[in-house]
């Protein structure tokens, strides 16, 4: 399982440095690589708009 970033993302970038496996890529909205994500939830904890969600 992996977390997925929803359209709510405002591309603030806060989550990217929090990911222990470097699974988050920059973009118009940020994107999580499902092959790398370990579902730890760290990105969801720091996101101001709750965009990363467990699938």
d(CA 21, CA 32): 10
Contact 9, 29 (CB under 8 A): yes
Structure tokens at 44: 């969801």
Residues 1-55 that bind ligand SF4 (CB under 6 A): 3, 5, 9-15, 18-19, 21, 23-24, 30, 32, 37-43, 46-47, 49, 51-52
Q: Give the three-state DSSP class for 16.
A: helix
- How far apart are CB 33 and ligand SF4 at their closest, in Å? 8
Binding site for ligand SF4 (CB under 6 A): 3, 5, 9-15, 18-19, 21, 23-24, 30, 32, 37-43, 46-47, 49, 51-52
């Amino acid at each position: 399982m992996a977390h997925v970033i929803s359209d709510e993302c405002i591309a603030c970038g806060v989550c990217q440095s929090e990911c222990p496996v470097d699974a988050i890529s920059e973009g118009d909205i940020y994107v999580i690589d499902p092959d790398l994500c370990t579902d730890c939830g760290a990105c969801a904890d720091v996101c101001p708009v709750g965009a990363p969600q467990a699938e």
